[in-house]
Amino acid sequence: MKIIAITGTPGTGKTALARELSLFTHYELVDVASFIKKHRISKEYDKNRKTQVIDINKLNKALIRAVKAKITQKKGIKGIIIDSHLSHFLPSAFIDACIVTTCSLKVLRKRLALKGYNASKIRENLDSEIFDTCLSEAAEKHKILVVDTSKKSAKTLAKELSAKISGKSSGSDPNLVRT
């Protein structure tokens, strides 16, 4: 059984990829944003940044407990995909693979605007992508697979990734970079 973390700057396509990959692999999907709301893990609301402040240690402990319970309760689970820009903070001993989504700044700006992000929030996330924040943090703990979502659909990328995960892939793809 594999546990895969999918992380990346908000707007880079991690949730779309996680959903599609879940369909291709038949892995259970854990949407961390919903999990945080359901379990009230947020410490506070930052009005200036218009976002919840999350205690990463508390989140990690709750996620690990929930995933272990899910594995125990449901027999036959092939794997679990954890979708969040915070999933790379989980301990490396708990994660079998960490996929980091990236995209071009032009595509990211467009996606964030379509989601209704204000100018300062768009700037914050563009800066995060420019400085490879999620990628750098993930690389500190995990062996990562970097996926550029700028030019391929989530469905196409999920199909390619599911082949890699199952070991049925050959060759390399410039949109899938192992580090």
Mean pLDDT of 118-127: 96
Q: With b meaning 16 or more CB within 10 Å and e meaning fewer, what string describes 5-40? A: bbbbbbbbbbbbbbbbbbebbebbbbbbeebbeeee
Q: Per the domain annotation, does 64 fall within a domain?
A: no
pLDDT computed for residue 178 by the predictor: 45
Q: Per the domain annotation, does 69 fall within a domain?
A: no
Task: Please give the mean pLDDT across all residues of the chain.
Answer: 92
Enter the pTM of the model: 0.91
Do the strands 176-178 and 144-148 form a parallel or antiparallel pair, or are they unpaired? Answer: antiparallel
How does pLDDT run across 9-25, given as a tens digit for each residue?
Answer: 999 999 999 999 999 99
Q: Say whether pLDDT at 168 is over 80.
A: no
pLDDT computed for residue 8 by the predictor: 98
Phi, psi of 118 (to 5 degrees): -80, 170
**Total of domains in the chain:** 1
Structure tokens at 26: 């038949």
Residue 153 CB neighbours (<10 A): 13
How does pLDDT run across 63-85, given as a tens digit for each residue?
Answer: 999 999 988 888 788 999 999 99
CATH number, domain of 20, equals 3.40.50.300
Q: Per the domain annotation, does 8 fall within a domain?
A: yes
Domain that holds residue 19: 2-33+77-178
pLDDT computed for residue 100 by the predictor: 98
Q: Per the domain annotation, does 108 fall within a domain?
A: yes
